Structure 1
Amino acid sequence: MSELTLIYWRDIPAQVRVGRGRKAARAVLPERFEQAIDRVAMRIGATDGDAYMAEWRDVSGGDVTGDLQAAADAKAAELDAAFDQATLKAYVDNEGRAPDA
């Protein structure tokens, strides 16, 4: 079994990682997520390295078995579908936090 980890900037997902070290599989979410993160960072003034880096966090997504890259890609596709353009905009409008937070 390998651990699936979701990487967020504030509450906006950015990447999925499965496993650790050299054997880890990664799936980066589409560019619109990076653009949303950058918009929020500029808006809140997190433009220096320390302020920007302080907002990153890892969240355990549980254990997976089988093909690690397939698991990472599937979770990334799930997040991409869950964060349509309107949802992602709501996160941006709420300074990168979940709109209901």
Structure 2
Amino acid sequence: MAQRILVFWRDIPAQVIVRAGRRTARRTLSARFQEAIDRAAMRAGLTGTDAYLAAWRRSDPEPCGEDPEAEADRLAAEIEAAYPPERLRRLVVAGGHEPMDEPPSNRETSRR
């Protein structure tokens, strides 16, 4: 069974990984996500390498469809749509953490 994993810097998604046996598909999200991560890190004062690297995490693996390439494309598109510019801006202002006033459905998307 294939499994998907999301890579985050704090609560900002950066990459999708889907594994099915020996096959792995990876999708780096668009540049606006890395730009948001960099701005949030600066805002949070995490400019040192160790502090910046310590904020990266992976989600727990979750089952998904069996075609890693298709699943990675689908999930990356879903995340891109779930994070409009205003949501990323709020994450930057909060130092990379999901604001607690965010609707639960949006908070859950960011933790998948």
| Shared fold (TM-score, shorter chain, > 0.5) | yes
How big is the shift at 1:73?
Answer: 1.1
State the superposition RMSD in angstroms: 1.8
Q: What pairs with 1:6-85 in structure 2 (closer than 5 Å)?
A: 6-19=6-19, 23-60=23-60, 62-85=62-85
Structure-1 separation of matches of 2:91 and 2:52: 17
- With 7-16 and 52-61 compared, the bigger mean Cα shift is at 52-61
Structure-2 separation of matches of 1:65 and 1:17: 13
Aligned residue pairs, count: 101
Structure 2: state its 5+ residue gaps: 102-112
Structure-1 separation of matches of 2:66 and 2:23: 13
TM-score of the aligned structures, taking structure 1 as reference length: 0.91
- After TM superposition, where is structure 1 displaced by more than 3 Å over at least 4 residues in a row? none
How big is the shift at 1:23?
Answer: 2.4
- With 12-21 and 69-78 compared, the bigger mean Cα shift is at 12-21
SS of equivalent to 1:24 = strand
- State, as a whole percentage, how many aligned pairs show the same letter: 46
Seen in structure 2, the aligned counterparts of structure 1 residues 92 and 21 have a Cα distance that, compared at 3 Å, is farther
Structure-2 separation of matches of 1:99 and 1:92: 10
How big is the shift at 1:21?
Answer: 8.7
SS of equivalent to 2:26 = strand
Seen in structure 2, the aligned counterparts of structure 1 residues 90 and 6 have a Cα distance that, compared at 3 Å, is same
TM-score of the aligned structures, taking structure 2 as reference length: 0.82
Cα deviations by residue, 1:54-95 (Å, 9 ceiling, x for unpaired): 000111351123210110111111011000001111111111
